[in-house]
């Protein structure tokens, strides 16, 4: 092994260790920031290792990519608001997956003809999963941004169409995987033409260029993602495995938090039975004045804040912390109840409250806080809806039946901060708003909380 290879492998080893430590750090809010720095350090080492490696064909394109990527990255870091973080994350997933798929396609074009069956199989999976993740993440980003409406897109025969697409995809995969060499030979040469830009003036070779692009398209569409294995790159194998499995574990946890099976998430539309699923609400929503709400809070012994997506859209995290501090100064015990799928991305509420310096010791997970609601004087729901919908617990016909909820309705008094009569992500009515112990305080959560804080000071 040359000195360069030794150095490259050493940087990869350090990068891999940093990735493992980063994941460990990110598993708790207190160490999450350190975890992020470790992940950045790991990524830096991996990039350095790759750049000193021997596979670089041209620096020009790398510099162009670095420049464009850095400009977009810096712009996103500076200007994308916290409220758009979920869709921003989805876009990152899409581009990461696209990169993996394209690397796979490039590998096939250059080395496809010499590849063994196992490597070709891994490459096929890499490209298949990469492309699937790309389109899936783009749809997710569109939905989270509101560009694509949140209701499930369903049509007659949808599962049959999906099955057909799946069969076409696996069929293409098997075709490229098969030991017949003729088509791969053509693709191989065509691909080399594209990659190495040889003799572009020759019309026959131009024909091959076109073949190469068609091949790319054919491979992109049937294929998707296991780059490290194919490239024999250790850091990619480790990082890819960590990424894949942490994603899988997260998916399982999210499904559990919504009481939905993985198959239901993959093949069922959330809103497919919306018509028969609306709650037995009835009654009226009672409004409370700001002063009365402030009075309740100021004279309470125990208050629990329950943040949801509305807190994120209103950017009300600082305002709630200020109100919480004022109440604590008056001797009120203040806690925050965090539902695992509150907001629009895992950990959404934790991130927002941490940004506002709410102490971690005041954040309670659903299982911990639920038994405390009956002894709580006031539960303040801040832009949360689905995660506090008692229908999930009480109405077996509800679309969200069985989804674990924060049981705020069991508190002595509930004050709900929202702008109007809007429904939650699921589109369902929420009977909590009609309960006798619930009062509605309408308005944007941030300004309502600020006004409440002012009013509490005058009590």
Q: Which residues are catalytic?
A: 386
Cβ proximity to ligand NAP, 13 vs 254, nearer residue: 254
Cβ proximity to ligand NAP, 314 vs 366, nearer residue: 314
Backbone angles phi, psi at 334, to 5 degrees: -115, 130
Strands 438-442, 413-418: pairing is: parallel
Residue 56 backbone zone (phi > 0: left; psi -120 to 50: alpha; other: beta)? beta
- Which residues have C-beta within 8 Å of that of residue 141, sequence separation ≥ 6? 87, 88, 90, 91, 94
Backbone angles phi, psi at 309, to 5 degrees: -55, -35
Helix (H) or strand (E) holding 439: strand 438-442
What is the smallest separation between the CB atom of 234 and ligand NAP, expressed in angstroms?
A: 32
Q: Is the separation of the CB atoms in 183 and 212 below 8 Å?
A: no
Cβ proximity to ligand NAP, 106 vs 271, nearer residue: 271
Could you write out the DSSP letters of every residue in 191-247? HHHHHHT--TT-HHHHHHHHHHHHHHHHHHTT----HHHHHT-HHHHHHHHHHHHHH
Residues at the contact surface with ligand NAP, assessed by CB under 6 A: 258, 308-310, 313-314, 341-346, 348, 383-387, 417-426, 444-445
What is the smallest separation between the CB atom of 282 and ligand NAP, expressed in angstroms?
A: 19
DSSP 3-state of 186: helix
Strands 363-365, 333-338: pairing is: parallel
Closest CA to 386 of 404, 372, 369, 373: 404
Tell me, rounded to whole angstroms, the distance of Cα 166 from its chain centroid.
24
Cβ proximity to ligand NAP, 124 vs 424, nearer residue: 424
What is the smallest separation between the CB atom of 180 and ligand NAP, expressed in angstroms?
A: 44
What is the smallest separation between the CB atom of 403 and ligand NAP, expressed in angstroms?
A: 8
What is the smallest separation between the CB atom of 131 and ligand NAP, expressed in angstroms?
A: 22
DSSP 3-state of 398: coil
Q: Is the separation of the CB atoms in 457 and 429 below 8 Å?
A: no
Cβ proximity to ligand NAP, 88 vs 344, nearer residue: 344
Cβ proximity to ligand NAP, 116 vs 420, nearer residue: 420
DSSP β-bridge partners for residue 438: 414
What is the smallest separation between the CB atom of 211 and ligand NAP, expressed in angstroms?
A: 42
């Amino acid at each position: 092994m040359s000195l360069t290879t030794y150095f490259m492998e050493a940087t990869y080893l350090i990068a891999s260790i940093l990735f493992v430590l980063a994941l460990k750090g990110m598993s708790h809010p207190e160490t999450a920031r350190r975890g992020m720095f470790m992940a950045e350090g790991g990524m830096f080492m991996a990039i350095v290792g790759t750049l000193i490696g021997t596979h670089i064909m041209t620096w020009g394109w790398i510099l162009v990519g670095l420049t464009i990527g850095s400009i977009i990255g810096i712009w996103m870091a500076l200007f994308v608001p916290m409220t758009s973080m979920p869709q921003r994350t989805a876009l990152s997933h899409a581009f990461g997956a696209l990169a993996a798929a394209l690397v796979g396609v490039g590998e096939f074009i250059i080395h496809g003809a010499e590849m063994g069956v196992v490597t070709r199989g891994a490459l096929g999976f890499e490209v298949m999963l990469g492309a699937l993740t790309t389109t899936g993440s783009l749809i997710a980003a569109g939905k989270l941004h509101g560009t694509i409406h949140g209701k499930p897109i369903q049509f007659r025969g949808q599962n049959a169409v999906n099955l057909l697409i799946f069969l076409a995809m696996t069929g293409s995969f098997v075709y490229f995987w098969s030991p017949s060499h003729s088509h791969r030979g053509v693709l191989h040469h065509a691909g080399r033409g594209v990659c190495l830009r040889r003799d572009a003036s020759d019309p026959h070779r131009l024909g091959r260029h076109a073949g190469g692009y068609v091949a790319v398209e054919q491979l992109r569409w049937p294929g998707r993602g296991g780059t490290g294995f194919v490239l024999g790159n250790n850091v990619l194998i480790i990082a890819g495995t960590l990424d894949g499995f942490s994603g899988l574990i997260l998916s399982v946890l999210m499904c559990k938090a919504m009481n939905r099976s993985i198959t239901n998430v993959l093949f069922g539309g959330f809103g497919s039975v919306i018509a028969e699923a609306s709650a037995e609400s009835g009654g009226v929503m009672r409004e409370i004045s700001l002063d009365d709400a402030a009075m309740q809070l100021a004279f309470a012994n125990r208050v629990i804040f329950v943040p949801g997506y509305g807190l994120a859209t209103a950017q009300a995290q600082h305002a709630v912390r200020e109100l919480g501090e004022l109440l604590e100064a008056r001797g009120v015990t203040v806690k925050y109840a965090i539902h695992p799928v509150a907001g629009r991305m895992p950990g959404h509420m934790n991130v927002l409250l941490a940004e506002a310096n709410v102490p971690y010791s005041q954040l309670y997970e659903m299982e911990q806080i639920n038994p405390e609601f009956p002894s709580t004087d006031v539960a303040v729901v801040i832009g949360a809806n689905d995660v506090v919908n008692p229908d999930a617990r009480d109405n077996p016909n509800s679309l969200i039946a069985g989804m674990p909820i924060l049981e705020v309705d069991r508190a002595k008094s509930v004050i709900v901060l929202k702008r109007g009569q809007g429904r939650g992500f699921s589109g369902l009515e929420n009977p909590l708003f009609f309960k006798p112990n619930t009062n509605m305080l309408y308005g944007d959560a941030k300004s309502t909380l600020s006004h409440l804080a002012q009013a509490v000071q005058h009590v």
